[in-house]
Amino acid sequence: MTVDRTALIGRPLRAANYTVSEVDVNDFLSVVVEPDSAPTDGSESGAEAASGRLAPPSFAPFVAVLGLLKTFDWQEDFLFDYRTGTAMFGEQSIEFHRPLLVGESVAISAVISDVYEKQGKQTFDVVEVTFDIKTGEQGELLMSGQQSYILFK
């Protein structure tokens, strides 16, 4: 059965929230070399460790991926059964408007901006999602961008 996903273009996805936690940043820093960023030793309380500490710039794509995965359901929003199909992340672009702070809560909003079919060894659909990540629901814009998902039929 062929699914026409082009009807999904323009569909807003669920709003989602994410808090930039000290634990996530430290886990990230334990596997990524980031100049001038180091995990805290855990001796400070969460509030003390988080106050004013910038998350490393390379952590932002991690926030975008985790946040976007909370905004959709594969079957309901992409008409895709991940149990029988194969999905991959595709291209991602992010425009940074200001750094993320550890402890900061962000709101993610997204919309399906394009869907198109491509042919390689197999035919597949590319679903492009555009997103904004702000502080709170109506807050300051932190980052915006686009991410694509590749869905094999």
Which CATH number does the domain housing residue 105 bear? 3.10.129.10
Per-residue pLDDT tens over the stretch 63-104: 999 899 999 999 999 999 988 999 999 999 999 999 999 999
Total of domains in the chain: 1
Query: Which domain, by its residues, includes 140?
Result: 5-152
Per-residue pLDDT tens over the stretch 94-149: 999 999 999 999 999 999 999 999 998 999 999 999 999 999 767 899 999 999 99
Closest CA to 2 of 71, 76, 85: 85
pLDDT at 137: 64
Q: Which residues pair with 107 in a beta bridge?
A: 17, 134
Residue 3's pLDDT band, with cuts at 50, 70 and 90, is confident
Per-residue pLDDT tens over the stretch 15-62: 999 999 999 888 888 887 665 555 555 544 444 344 568 898 889 888
